[in-house]
């Protein structure tokens, strides 16, 4: 995280170890996953509609918006979740 975003100063994204709830179409938690230290995660799901809900840090930061997804039978998908540090 960069303390202040400044023009001309690079502030590259960093991987985050975080928890992600997976909700079904009825809003029930199907499973919870934790990403690895390098930010990668893998969640096996059956075909259907889900919402990936990234959980915020203990203080409420960083945070990320829920992401609706449609899982097709027999396929894997790649999805990046982007957290906001709240720092401006």
* Residue 19: C-alpha distances to residues 14, 31, 32, 54, 63 (Å): 16, 10, 7, 6, 11
pLDDT for 48 equals: 96
Whether the predicted pLDDT of 4 surpasses 80? no
User: Phi-psi category of 39—alpha, beta or left, where left has phi over 0 and alpha has psi -120 to 50?
Assistant: left
For the chain, give the number of residues. Answer: 88
Q: What is the pLDDT of residues 9-36, one digit of tens each?
A: 887 888 989 999 999 999 999 999 999 9
The answer to whether residues 5 and 11 touch, using CB atoms and an 8 Å cutoff, is yes
């Amino acid at each position: 995280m960069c303390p202040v975003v400044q023009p001309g100063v690079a502030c590259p994204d960093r991987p985050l170890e975080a928890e992600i709830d997976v909700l079904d179409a009825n809003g029930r938690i199907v499973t919870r996953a934790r990403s690895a230290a390098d930010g990668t995660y893998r969640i096996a799901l059956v075909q259907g509609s889900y919402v990936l809900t990234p959980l915020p840090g203990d203080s409420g930061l960083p945070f990320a918006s829920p992401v609706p997804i449609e899982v097709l039978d027999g396929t894997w998908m790649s999805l990046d979740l982007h957290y906001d540090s709240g720092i401006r």
